[in-house]
Amino acid sequence: MRTNTITTTGKEVSIKYETAKFALGIGVSMAAFVGLWGGISLVSALAGTGPVGLVKGYIGAVIGI
């Protein structure tokens, strides 16, 4: 007795899903990069001017002095 078997090697891929997944990955990576950059800048300013100078500079930047 013989049994016929059908095998498939391909897989259906949704272009919209794959594009959205890629775009989300890029967006998350860029957000992490910007957050890391901001954190490093804050630590650098804190080391350079101290906590009082950092607050003074922040307030000056907010009110425009």
DSSP assignment of the chain: --------------HHHHHHHHHHHHHHHHHHHHHHHHHHHHHHHHHHHHHHHHHHHHHHHHHT-
pLDDT at 2: 80
Residue 9 reports pLDDT greater than 80: no
C-alpha to C-alpha distance for 44 and 38, rounded to whole angstroms: 10
- Is residue 44 within 8 Å of 54, Cβ to Cβ? no
Across the range 32-55, mean pLDDT stands at 93
Prediction pTM value: 0.63
pLDDT at 17: 94
pLDDT at 37: 97
C-alpha to C-alpha distance for 32 and 39, rounded to whole angstroms: 11
Q: What is the pLDDT of residues 13-40, one digit of tens each?
A: 889 999 999 999 999 999 999 999 999 9
Residue with tokens 């078997």: 5
